[in-house]
């Protein structure tokens, strides 16, 4: 496996989202935000403005370098544009409401520029564009969103990784551009200028990237990243890949098939927290022993009874989640939404089971914009079903394509496979 060699950079931005994304890529940095006049020039093109802001920040930071500072400077700026006009950060709640009304039901562009500089001067200056499509927003939705305070420090008065993600029907381009740093383009540019050498694509690098994106998504949603458990989905992956991931610090692994889990658990030995995340047949429940930390896919009382019997045999209460089939898909396990209350109440009465929350697999879509409403609906369902005696703290939702959207909606566990391990074998 090849490891990247990064020179430390000076980040001319105070954005916690940009910091978390760089950390996920394994790039060490020193933060030194630069204060500049961000007033657009009359008639200035939005991309030209974004590039000018990034360039000015980079050159200003460059002038502060001492001999002990990092050799490279990275600066960035994000603008939201509609009909060629720049929508900056709102001045007050009324201004935020005005911007959201303008964006409602329409497509707009997000431009994130970045500049890389060294003591030799400006090395790279480029911009990334993404088109974001908003659905129609009601006045009540706009008022409720503004009341959260989230829009007030964001260009265009919204953050896609926060509550406003529910306003987004689809995006065309890079999600990272909308968040505030087109990481793929930045890493390529850092490689070209010699700040990054041998950018890796192995498990260690992919794991760091996922961890960084989880942290960025949590920060953007106002959550503590420590609230979120990353489960590496190791289905059909070779045992060597699992060992490498565990050696890199990934201790939670999820398997779909009981026999595959048993084989891997024997080979891996202690030190792994195992999750069973696939559909489970009742006749397989007897094989679930104390090595399984959590069963995510309980979708019937009969399966619950079989698991309770196995739990009694192993002398412990077995932690479980109730799986909800929100799309009423015949090809997926899970109880229908209208039957969820009966399932939860029945499982909660089984003394040998510890019902910890809910899990879902949304219908397939084009991306996070399609699946996020299902995540929001699962959180709402959990809130309706929870009681002081049955708090249901866990929400297992989100996979490689949409875990950031799931985190924005309250996921406490995300199940990520290909983004860590690569294609299945």
348 vs 271: CA distance, rounded Å: 29
125 vs 335: CA distance, rounded Å: 52
Strands 85-87 and 72-82: antiparallel
**Distance (Å) of CA 344 to CA 251, 288, 307, 357, 374:** 29, 21, 15, 9, 19
300 vs 317: CA distance, rounded Å: 18
Nearest 5°: the CA angle 214, 269, 313 is: 100
**What are the phi and psi torsion angles at 337 (to 5°)?**
-55, -40
Residues 22-51 as b or e (16 or more Cβ within 10 Å = b): bbbbbbebeebebeeeeebeeeeebeebbb
Whole-angstrom Cα Rg for the chain: 24
Residue 113 contacts residue 127 (beta carbons within 8 Å): yes
Residue 324 contacts residue 355 (beta carbons within 8 Å): no
**Distance (Å) of CA 151 to CA 100, 129, 178, 357, 364:** 9, 21, 14, 31, 30
DSSP-based three-state secondary structure for 35: coil
CA dihedral 80, 82, 85, 90 (to 10 degrees): -50
Question: Catalytic pick from 35, 45, 68, 77?
Answer: 77
**Distance (Å) of CA 204 to CA 2, 4, 214, 235, 412:** 9, 10, 15, 18, 23
Q: Is 92 a catalytic residue?
A: no
Residue 314 contacts residue 291 (beta carbons within 8 Å): no
165 vs 83: CA distance, rounded Å: 21
Residue 322 contacts residue 358 (beta carbons within 8 Å): yes
**What are the phi and psi torsion angles at 125 (to 5°)?**
-150, 115
- Which residues are known to be catalytic? 77
């Amino acid at each position: 496996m090849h490891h990247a060699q990064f020179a430390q950079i000076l980040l001319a931005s105070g954005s916690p989202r940009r910091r978390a994304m760089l950390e996920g890529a394994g790039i060490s940095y020193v933060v030194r935000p630069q204060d500049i006049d961000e007033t657009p020039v009359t008639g200035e093109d939005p991309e030209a403005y974004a590039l000018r802001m990034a360039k000015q920040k980079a050159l200003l930071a460059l002038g502060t370098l001492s001999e002990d500072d990092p050799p490279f400077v990275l600066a960035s700026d994000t603008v939201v544009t509609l009909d060629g006009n720049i929508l900056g950060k709102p001045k007050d709640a009324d201004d935020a409401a005005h911007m959201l009304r303008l964006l409602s039901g329409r497509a707009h562009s997000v431009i994130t520029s970045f500049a890389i500089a060294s003591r030799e001067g400006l090395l790279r200056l480029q911009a990334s564009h993404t088109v974001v499509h908003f659905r129609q927003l009601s006045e009540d939705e706009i008022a409720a969103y503004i009341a959260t305070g989230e829009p007030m420090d964001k260009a265009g008065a919204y953050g896609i990784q926060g509550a406003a993600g529910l306003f987004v029907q689809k995006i065309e381009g890079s999600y990272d551009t909308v968040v505030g740093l087109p990481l793929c383009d930045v890493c390529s540019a850092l490689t070209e200028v010699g700040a990054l050498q041998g950018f890796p694509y192995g498990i260690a690098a992919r794991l760091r990237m996922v961890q960084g994106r989880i942290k960025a998504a949590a920060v953007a949603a106002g959550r503590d990243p420590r609230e979120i458990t990353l489960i590496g989905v190791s289905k059909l992956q070779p045992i060597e890949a699992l060992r490498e991931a565990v050696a890199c610090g990934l201790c939670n692994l999820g398997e779909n098939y009981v026999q595959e889990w048993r084989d891997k658990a024997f080979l891996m030995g202690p030190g792994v927290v195992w999750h069973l995340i696939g559909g489970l047949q009742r006749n397989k429940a007897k094989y679930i022993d104390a090595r399984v930390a959590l069963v995510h896919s309980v979708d019937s009382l009969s399966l619950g009874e079989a698991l309770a019997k196995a739990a009694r045999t192993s002398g412990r209460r077995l932690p479980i989640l109730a799986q909800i089939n929100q799309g009423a898909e015949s090809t997926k396990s899970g109880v229908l939404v209208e039957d969820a209350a009966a399932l939860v109440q029945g499982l909660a009465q089984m003394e040998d089971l510890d019902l910890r929350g809910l899990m879902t697999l949304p219908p397939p879509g084009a991306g996070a914009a399609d699946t996020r409403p299902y995540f929001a609906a699962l959180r709402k369902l959990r809130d309706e079903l929870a009681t002081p005696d049955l708090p249901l703290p866990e929400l297992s939702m989100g996979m490689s394509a949409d875990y950031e959207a799931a985190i924005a909606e309250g996921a406490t566990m995300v199940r990520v496979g290909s983004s860590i391990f690569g294609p299945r074998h």
